[in-house]
Structure 1
Amino acid sequence: MWVIPGNNQTRVSKFILLGFSSDPTTSSILFIVFLLIYLSSVMGNGLISLLICLDSHLHTPMYFFLCILAMLDMAYVTTTMPQMLVHLLAHSKTISFAGCWIQMYLFGALALTECTLFVVMAYDRYVAICYPLHYTVILNWGLCIRLTTGSLVCGFLSALLHTSFTMSLPYCGPNKVNHYFCEGPAVLSLACMDTHLIEMVDQVLSILMCLIPISLIMTSYIHIVMTVLKIKSSQARCKAFSTCTSHLTVVTFFYGPGTYIYMRPNSSYSPERDKQISLFYNAFSALLNPMVYSLRNRDIKRAFLKVLAHGRVDY
């Protein structure tokens, strides 16, 4: 700890992440489980990204956004899981104040970028199903790049605002974070001052980055459902609903737990419950995405089979 200039209070220089368990046996079991989850997430999303890059048949806006999502998921889960795995086996579970700041920022930036990207993906499905003849004109590559860049800028700037507010508060002790990584609400609960203002900022950001994207996604799918129901061919309807179901599944797993954590009052903060819930939009979400998109997508499976059969894909 260090002394705050002009003040008798001391400020913590590091945090202790309590994680899930202090029992060595339980920690060893959790290490194996989370290691398998992490490796599966990275390899699954990495494989999807590779297949989309290599197969020219997948060079469409839909798969471009899916490739971006897969790369975000790899980075997203890597901000927390490797450190958690080390802490499950190591005696010391500390993280420096600067390290906590960086982890909170990167985690928030990648999560908020995904929030925006899910809206972009919903818009892609809306254009593809409601305006199929104008799909390539409306959703040209220039617009795809701008939408992706906008998602990144929006996510990283919003996270910078949130992290700066949270980490600028005085932390005088205790310094034990009852979480497996430096998540905003868990760290905020240790601040030695009134956090009412930062809670209000969090609520505003949550509304902007959660409720608005969810509303836009639901609006897109209302129009999609109305259009699909007008399609006479049952096979075409099933194909349209199939691509939408995959997207809605990952959106639900991501937005549901995340909205609960960041939109409820800080007074209802429950460390043990929140740690478990955060796994859904962190570890399990990154694991679920490649499973949903690969198992339900014929083009991805076809590209994968080409690789297995020939060791490459045809351009």
Structure 2
Amino acid sequence: MATKCSIKFSEYHDSVVLMETARELTRLPGVSDAAVVMATEANKSILREAGLLLPEIEATSANDLVVVVKAETEEDADHALDVAERYLARRPEAAAVGLAFQPRTIRGAVRANPAANLAVISVAGRYAAAEAWEALRNGLHVLLFSDNVDIEDEVVLKKYAAERGLLMMGADCGTAIINGVGLGFANVVPRGPVGIVAAASTWLQEVSALLARLGVGISQGIGTGGRDLREPVGGIMMLEGIKALQADPQTRVLLLVSKPPSPAIAERVLAQVRQGDKPTVVCFLGG
């Protein structure tokens, strides 16, 4: 077996593109495993466990893109890396998505579509806060898919959003279901009476799918990002999500899902629950 890699320094691609590329590589003849990831410490740990962490990858940073393949022969590995190069170099054409004009900035997108009220942001972490500020200042709710965002930036972004009645979902928010539209890694589920606020994307996916299997639909699924209930953030977006669902006429039951927060933040969340008159299920998993 041969394991080879390609490193692209300071290059970023949307995680969906990375997963699609990795999937295409694993379909190639002779390729037994492949990964196309940003070189975060978490991803390096995954590569290490999979036996794909080559020495040259160790020195990369979270802003670098890594393509690594395990194949039967060196020729198969080289071919897979060439395929990845071509796949990542592709750029979607405007005609392919039915647009004559594709804005290059959030401000331009708002001007082109004044009815837009939500931005999904997936850029390298060092640029993510600036783009989130641009969206919020243009009156948009935000789903911030990007990770590696400073927690200090997350706090001030969420405070700014909360003061203006906007949702600031994230950072590192991978899933939401807003008005029946799945954002990020969302399942297709029916509309219904249950509104969910979740501090983990996988839990939002899981509970919405389980409810759908039982014939129960979702009114809204609000992700907060995994750090929202930590002390520095204080549950800002969990609280705003609860308020939004308490006021939403389509939501009859609330479901809150999170790892156990600190006692002070848990009490803050429960106090907001008690202010509403809708039945609420609270799952602080492990608490």
TM over 0.5: no
Q: Which has the higher contact order (CA 8 A, sep 6+)?
A: 1
Give the structure with the higher percent helix: 1
TM-score range with shorter-chain normalisation?
Answer: under 0.3
The TM-score with structure 1 as length reference comes to: 0.25
Give the structure with the higher percent strand: 2
